[in-house]
Chain A
Amino acid sequence: MATGKRTVEVELSTTGLDAQGRPQRVPLVTSEDGGVAIAPPPSIEPELTADHMLINLGPQHPATHGVLRLVLELDGETVVRCIPHIGYLHCGFEKIGEYRQYNQIIPWTDREDYLNSIGNNVAFALGAERLWGIDVTERCKVLRVIASELSRIISHLVWLGTTCIDIGAFTPFLWAFQQREYVYNLLEAWVGARLTTSATRVGGMAADIPSGWLDGLKKFIRDFPDTVFEIDRMLTTNAIWVGRTVGLGVMSPDEAVNWGLSGPMLRASGVAYDVRRDFPYLDYETYDFDVPVGTNGDVYDRYLVRMEELRQSVRILEQAIKRLPDGPVNIDDPRVILPPKSKATSEMESMIHHFKQVMEGPRPPVGESYVAVESPKGEKGYYMVSDGTSKPVRWRIRPPSFVNLSAIPKMVEGHLLSDVIAINASIDIVMGEIDR
């Protein structure tokens, strides 16, 4: 027995790294046998019998990542039920797609998931080319991979910045948006627009990369990992960050698959489904990259998965730059590609061909196609049905955030009101894609 001296055991709220150098998880609640029980804290029973409160979060709210309305039934501070309302950004994309030619739909694909504009362009072009059975050139494939990975980087940067603001850290937002400005410079040099790029066309790209563009991309890849490291160092072992994200919004693998989750939401729950790996496109199977998978299914794991995806995207970009072949960027298929201007202005057949393609648009054979890509949010699919005319009969967007968000009532039950914000941020929703 200690004489006169009392030793008080204080459990540190954060222990930093464990023996293997991995970040230590901070349990919110420990169960009796000392193991970690990732359970939300029990709600404090009020002394007076109080009714449940109905709180309306949104649609105009800084933390709902767009115009999302969450109606929460609260028992004190604990959420008993959550009923999401969407549709506040429904703009009739699918309807308007039936009145536009295939190349004219490309600007609409920019605007639905506006954080992944160029990735959506690539996905739509792949889907449209499937209707013709067209394979694009090797150079175009590598350029599209570069575009998709750049798009993944900028989307995750927005997610990172806005999630940090939601949870309370303001500075990473500025760092992340600074990196986005470098990518914006690159995109602007390539296609002329910063955000809404419309970079692909059926059969190729809108434009080839200008000379010197690859040097700019190499410079970005050299400097970008420093920012990722800085943000990682600030957040990953931070007591506040870990305390606010561990154990929140847990979805088990079976539930996640059944609810149709995809992307980092699904991978954080332990299901290693990545469309680039399992249903590949654009020769992704020939690139050497890892697919990060989490095992706890909570908000912290989703954060770790997305941070790792940033690093893997840089890895893919390095390989893509090395293997970019020379050659034409558009295929030589008269069904979809306009003739070169020099011929169109001098030869009659080319001029007529050009006229028909521009006024009426390329006409695919009767059929349908569904092409899914791995967007930063998850499995993004475009389902197109053609009846032989230049405008699709049906253009369906399979929105990953829509299906991911439908699971939010399940994820927030039992958590506190401020956890709702963190869980909502971790889903990485884009209302433009959800409501279309």
Chain B
Amino acid sequence: MTVRFEIVTPGSALKDAPAPASPKEVSQFGEPANPSAAALAERFPMVVERQLVIWGETVVYIPPGSVLEVMQWLHDDPSQRYDYLSDVTAVEYRDFDRPIEVVWHLRSLPYRRFLRVKTQLSKTEPLEVASVWSIWKSADWLERECYDMFGIKFKGHPDLRRILMWEQYREGFPLRKDFPLRGRFSRAEQLRQALAQNPEARYSMEELTVADAFEDLPEDMRARLTSGERTGE
């Protein structure tokens, strides 16, 4: 029986390290930091704004412009090897003046490390940050969801459109703090808008290029499709 893949075990880059143990009696700020934080501060001294260790997890703050460079280094450098992107999300605080933070949760499987990288986006400017899709493909849908819920645009993402709400959703970005829990419109209006979406018409531009319906599309839509436009918004 031919075996196809070699088995990869996490922790392969650690030599003689003790087996991992469940955290016990974790102090709020006093746990040792992830060595990557020190390595980042050394490699990008002008870039790393702040670091802290909270409940045993290391958090590094970087400016939005340097996200791609730092992430690329964290992925490629043989002493870091953060090959697993666990999550991309954003946090908006109740205090209106605090900026929105975009959070990346990175894991290094060879070194068994966990790092949280954050960047702060001021609400007075357009919410844009670089996409890490070119480094980790798992960012594909995670960034789309972040855009859908917060309105943060990820530059360099191949297909940034709404993923959880329908593409013509007009009420706004749901997870923003100025978006009320029950939505901005009345229930009857929400139902009307939802029912107005023709289920058969919910194909994205990309899909419509394939279908036989291409000839039936209106002229301007066909022109936009042939010129390469892909998103349906």
Contacts and interface: CB of A to CB of B under 8 A. Distances in A.
Q: Do chains A and B touch in the complex (CB under 8 A)?
A: yes
B21 A280 contact: yes
B188 interface: no
A86 B145 CA distance: 11
B138 A260 contact: yes
B177 to A, nearest CB: 8
Contacts of B7: 270-272, 293, 295
Contacts of A131: 55
Interface stretch (B32-40, B65-73, B87-95, B219-227): B87-95
B140 A406 contact: yes
Interface in A286-306: 293, 295-297
A281 B22 contact: yes
Given A383-B103, A383-B105, A406-B140, A257 B5 contact: no
Interface in A378-407: 379, 381, 383, 385, 387, 393-394, 396, 398, 402-403, 405-407
A35 B2 contact: yes
A401 to B, nearest CB: 11
A398 B155 CA distance: 22
Nearest to B140: A406
Interface string B78-89: 000001111101
B4 interface: yes
A166 B85 CA distance: 31
Nearest to B183: A92
B9 A272 contact: yes
Nearest to A23: B1
Nearest to B54: A367
Contacts of A405: 141
Interface string B192-223: 00000000001110110011100000000000
Interface string B1-16: 1111111111100000
Interface stretch (A2-10, A223-231, A312-320, A368-376): A368-376
Contacts, number: 183
Nearest to B112: A278
B1 A285 contact: no
B11 A278 contact: yes
Contacts of B210: 52, 54, 73, 81
Nearest to A293: B7
A257 B107 CA distance: 10
A398 B174 contact: no
Interface in A67-111: 71, 73, 81, 83, 85-87, 90, 92, 94-96, 99
Interface residues of A, number: 76
A415 interface: no
A315 to B, nearest CB: 19
B26 A257 contact: no
Given A131-B55, A369-B55, A398-B87, A95 B175 contact: yes
B217 to A, nearest CB: 13
B181 interface: yes
B181 A387 contact: no
Contacts of B95: 387
Interface in A345-381: 365, 367-370, 372, 379, 381
**Closest A-B pairs by Cβ, 5 of them:** A260-B138, A270-B5, A87-B164, A406-B141, A90-B164
Interface of A: 18, 22, 24-25, 35-36, 38, 51-52, 54, 71, 73, 81, 83, 85-87, 90, 92, 94-96, 99, 130-131, 133, 135, 250, 252-253, 255, 257-261, 269-273, 277-285, 293, 295-297, 365, 367-370, 372, 379, 381, 383, 385, 387, 393-394, 396, 398, 402-403, 405-407, 435-436
Given A135-B25, A381-B105, 15 more contacts: A22-B1, A94-B175, A95-B181, A130-B55, A135-B24, A257-B109, A272-B7, A278-B10, A279-B20, A283-B22, A285-B19, A295-B7, A365-B28, A368-B57, A369-B57
Interface of B: 1-11, 19-28, 54-55, 57, 59, 83-87, 89, 91-95, 103, 105, 109, 112, 114, 116, 136-138, 140-142, 145, 149, 162-166, 174-175, 179, 181, 202-204, 206-207, 210-212
20 contacts: A52-B210, A83-B204, A85-B202, A86-B163, A87-B163, A92-B174, A94-B149, A133-B26, A259-B137, A259-B138, A269-B5, A273-B84, A280-B20, A295-B4, A296-B4, A369-B57, A383-B89, A387-B94, A398-B89, A403-B142
